[in-house]
Every structure is written in structure tokens, then in C-alpha cells.
Amino acid sequence: MQQALKIAAGPLVEGDTIVILDAKNMFLRPFGPSDYWDGARARTNFLPVGAVKPEHLSRALRCFDRTGALGAPQEITQYVTPFAVERAVWATLHERILARLGPVEAVFAVNRPPTEFMLLNAYAHAELCGVRKLFSPGLIRFNNLHMSTPA
């Protein structure tokens, strides 16, 4: 349900940009707004669609493009935290999910739901013709460490 909470926070957050973190993120050096924001758009790293398992993206695309008429996107954003996004974009994603699918928590209550970041990519593809309309390239990749525990 952490994905639902992240998306539901969009309309509630103050400020122009959100940097979404997980508890596993540990920063290795100081950082500032320019690490995540170029002055106009949030920064990300763009990936070819082949960088993600097809089912991860296809589950999200079905939420916004039920007919498949749009075809597959050519690229997506990174899908790990820290993840920067404009607050207005995240709030609009929340609105679109409510309008198309119902309460956000219901989207994530199903078996194998799409991730919050794949939903954002699907929304950008379906309604805005791609993620480059929302993001700028250049997120610095190695300013944090992802902590995980062995299985």
C-alpha cells in the first residue's frame, strides 16, 4: 500500500517538486534542488522500454490505454527512488486514477498491481505522448545508496 500512499499524497503536498523516497534510501553526499530540478522540470534518467519486464509496463498501460491503440512507448523514466516529479503532475496522476479506476488504494489491492512509477509512465504515454514532456534528463544516479536485506 505504500504506492497508494505516495500517489495519494500528490494533491496534499506543498511546493512545486516532490522527491519520492523509500526508507531504504541513504544519501552519500549533500544534495540540493538542482540535483532533482533543472529550473523547469524534474530530472530523471530515461530508459529504453526493454529495460523493464514487459508485464510491469503492460499492466500500467492497460489502466490508461485499454484498447492498445497507442502502441508501446519507446522509453520510460527510471523507476526507483529517489524519484523527482512535479507536484502538479503527481496530483494529476492521482486525479486520472480516481476517474478511470476508482480509489487509488483499490488499484494496489489486486494481485500483481502496476507500480506507481509505471502508472506515471503509462499516464504520460497515453495522455501526453511520452515522458519527455514531463521530465528533463540528467538525474545524478549515485548520490544515494539503496539498503536492502538479504532474502
Q: What are the tens digits of pLDDT across the range 71-125?
A: 677 889 988 888 999 999 999 999 999 998 899 998 888 878 888 999 999 999 8
Q: Which helix (H) or strand (E) holds 63?
A: helix 54-64
- Among 44-48, 55-59, 142-146, the minimum mean pLDDT is found in 142-146
Specify whether the CB–CB gap between 54 and 116 falls below 8 A. no
Partners of 85 in the β-ladder: 18
Q: Exposed, middle or buried, 25 (CB in 10 Å: 0-12/13-18/19+)?
A: middle
Buried b (16+ CB within 10 A) or exposed e, 58-70: ebbbebbbeeeee
Per-residue pLDDT at 110? 83
Identify the DSSP state of 37.
Answer: B
Q: What are the tens digits of pLDDT across the range 1-52?
A: 788 999 999 899 888 889 998 888 888 888 888 889 999 999 999 988 877 7
